Chain A
Amino acid sequence: MLITIFYAFISVASLGAVFGIGLAIAARYLHVKKDEKLVSLEEAMPGYNCGACGFAGCSSYAEAIFEGNAEDLTLCAPGAAETAHKLADIMGVTVEVPAEKMVAQVHCRGGKENASVAFDYKGISDCNAASIYFQGEKVCKYGCLGYGSCMKVCPVDAIYYDNEGLVWIDRDKCIACGKCIDVCPTGVIKMIPYSADYIVACNSNDKGAVVRKACKVGCIGCKMCDKQSPEGGYIIEDFLATIDYSKDGDRAAGAEKCPAKCIKKL
């Protein structure tokens, strides 16, 4: 009995050692030398492998730049300006990068208390599944369905349920890969600048009266914000206010007077 255990131990250990040493020797002789430039390009990438650049991952984007297949050095959303400058330094060129980093945010604050519900959904807990039935259980067809499909695709766990139980995105964690925007069936997640001070947390293009019936915190398109803060960059189109972030006038007065209280300070 003991001798069998001894043999088993010795044979497996020695087989493992032989293969290990064999592989180590093989690795030395079969080593493929990578170009130093390619290695430093790979190191300059943030390493999230999120695919926002349109390539399979960080190393395939690095390879594409190295082989000259990718002219644009600013495709990396998570790394933004910093990565673009690093890549440009390595390749010996200069790039123009958009100064402002963008982040995704959910433009809806219509939780269970505020938004009225047309029926009770008892299906799979997934936004796209819920969306198949009459575009979700809420009366409002523009808002967040709240089943968190975006959380499942977020590579950096930036999306969470906040203290009101609503889906919200942490702008410090967001790497702007755009995966949540692709998966969201209602299009309620939109990109805003990182430094944005206020957002209009509503996505509904319905007329004021319809919005008021569907949701207590929906934008009714009353233009009050634009009147109170004419320099704030509020634009009302299709009964929905949006903010032009290139204007940096005061937005607080408009947000204060909003009758639906849907303009949220970040």
Chain B
Amino acid sequence: MTYISIIITYVFISNLILTQFLGMCPFIGVSKNVESAVGMGFAVTFVMAIASLTTWAIQYFVLVPLHIEFLQTITFILVIASLVQFVEMVIQKVAPPLYKALGIFLPLITTNCAVLGIALIVVRSGYNAMESFLGGVAAGLGFLLAILIMSTIRERLDTERIPRAIKGIPIAFIAAGLMALAFMAFDKALLKNLLG
């Protein structure tokens, strides 16, 4: 039951992008077309899943025994940065077209605060290893959901008649704001109703 509630929490209720406003850079930058948005979404999901598991291990096997929890942020950044490098190499080897489509945004996952955000959130929530991993996956899926919706909206916006002053990025931000409003419908009460 905890697992289902974790998934619902990070996909809908505290969606990293639409309720916590983390990781706005790739959310706006890579959402111009659906194909690269989905690629970015899966790359972030992959990184988040592994990052939250690895950071959990670092937290409980290195930082806590040595009483140096204050180094959380810097060690987590270290872990995430190396992971992203690794993922970049794997993608370049395995899927060159995806590598090309993601372009500059793949290295940018390094500085994507959503990844560091979820790593810190799952550790502070006191989850165990499995829960942390699921938290990472769910947060990634939440990111994928948000960026997928956003990219489909923006593809339609491209052909609409929009006032010149707000064409492009400004209207994308307005759409993101409206989406965030819609996601306010998902709250803790919903979780309670669903799972009792």
> Closest approach, in angstroms, between the C-beta of A29 and any C-beta of chain B?
9
From residue B115, how far is it (CB to closest CB) to chain A in Å?
15
Asked if B74 is an interface residue, CB under 8 A from chain A, the answer is yes
Contact A23:B85 (CB < 8 A) given known A12-B78, A30-B93: yes
Report whether B93 and A32 are in contact in the complex, using a CB–CB cutoff of 8 Å.
yes
Q: How far is the CA of A27 from the CA of B85 in the complex (A)?
A: 9
Pick from A14-22, A38-46, A200-208, A212-220 the stretch touching chain B. Answer: A14-22
In the assembled complex, which residues on chain A have CB atoms less than 8 Å from the CB atom of B79? 15, 19
The minimal Cβ–Cβ distance linking A124 to chain B, given in whole angstroms, is: 15
Chain A contact residues (Cβ within 8 angstroms of B): what range?
Answer: 10 to 19
Is A12 touching B86 in the complex (CB atoms < 8 A)? Answer: no
Question: Chain A residues with Cβ under 8 A from B67's Cβ?
Answer: 4, 7
| B110 CB, min distance to chain A CBs, angstroms | 13
Answer whether A19 and B82 are a contact pair too, CB < 8 Å, given A12-B74, A30-B90.
yes
- The reply to whether A12 and B90 form a contact with Cβ atoms under 8 Å apart is no
**Min CB distance, B102 to chain A, in Å?**
14
Total contacting residues, chain B, CB less than 8 A? 19
Q: How far is A180 from B62 in the complex, measured between Cα atoms in Å?
A: 55
Chain A neighbourhood of B89, CB < 8 A:
26-27, 30
Q: With an 8 A cutoff between CB atoms, is B58 at the interface?
A: yes
In the bound assembly, the distance between CA atoms of A20 and B82 in angstroms comes to 8
Q: How far is the CA of A172 from the CA of B90 in the complex (A)?
A: 44
Q: How far is the CA of A23 from the CA of B83 in the complex (A)?
A: 9
B68 is an interface residue with CB less than 8 A from chain A: yes
Query: How many Å lie between the Cα of A213 and that of B140 in the bound state?
Result: 66
Given known A-B contacts A23-B85, A26-B89, A32-B92, A15 and B75 have beta carbons under 8 A apart: yes
Verify A12–B71 contact, CB threshold 8 A.
yes
Kindly state whether residue A11 has any CB partner on chain B within 8 Å. yes
* Inter-chain contact A11/B68, CB cutoff 8 Å: yes
Complex formed: what's the CA distance from A20 to B79 in Å?
10
- Nearest to B89 among chain A residues (CB) is A30
Q: Which of B63, B66, B78 contacts A19 (CB 8 A)?
A: B78
Judge if A97 is at the interface, Cβ distance under 8 Å.
Answer: no
Given the known interface contacts A30-B90, A30-B93, A32-B92, the answer about A15 and B62 at a Cβ–Cβ threshold of 8 Å is yes
Chain A neighbourhood of B90, CB < 8 A: 30
Which of B71, B78, B82, B96 lies in contact with A8, CB distance below 8 A? B71
A12: chain B residues within 8 A (beta carbon)? 71, 74-75, 78
A4 touches B93 (CB 8 A): no
Contact A26 B58 (CB under 8 A): no
Residues of B within 8 A of A27 (CB): 89
Inter-subunit contact B86/A23 (CB<8 Å): yes
Taking a contact as CB atoms under 8 Å apart, the answer to whether B78 and A15 are in contact is yes
**Which parts of B80-137 form the interface with A (CB within 8 Å)?**
82, 85-86, 89-90, 92-93, 96
List the B side residues contacting A15 at CB < 8 Å: 58, 62, 75, 78-79
Report the minimal beta-carbon distance from A129 to chain B, rounded to whole angstroms.
13
Task: Collect the chain A residues with CB atoms within 8 Å of residue B75's CB.
Answer: 11-12, 15
Nearest Cβ distance between residue B63 and chain A, in whole angstroms? 8
Residues on B with beta carbons closer than 8 Å to the beta carbon of A4: 66-68
Please indicate the chain B residues that have their CB under 8 angstroms from the CB of A23 in the complex: 82, 85-86
Across-interface contacts of A7 in B (CB, < 8 A): 66-68
Using known A-B contacts A16-B78, A19-B82, A22-B82, determine if residue A11 contacts B66 with beta carbons closer than 8 Å: yes
For B66, the chain A residues whose CB sits under 8 A away are 4, 7-8, 11
Q: What are 14 A-B contacts with C-beta separation under 8 Å?
A: A4-B68, A7-B66, A8-B71, A11-B63, A11-B66, A11-B68, A11-B75, A12-B75, A15-B62, A15-B79, A23-B85, A23-B86, A30-B93, A32-B96
**A residues adjacent to B (C-beta < 8 A):** 4, 7-8, 11-12, 15-16, 19-20, 22-23, 26-27, 30, 32
- Since A8-B66, A12-B78, A15-B58 are in contact, a sample of 11 more A-B pairs with Cβ atoms closer than 8 Å, ordered by chain A residue number, is A4-B66, A4-B67, A7-B67, A11-B63, A11-B71, A15-B62, A16-B78, A20-B82, A22-B86, A27-B89, A30-B89
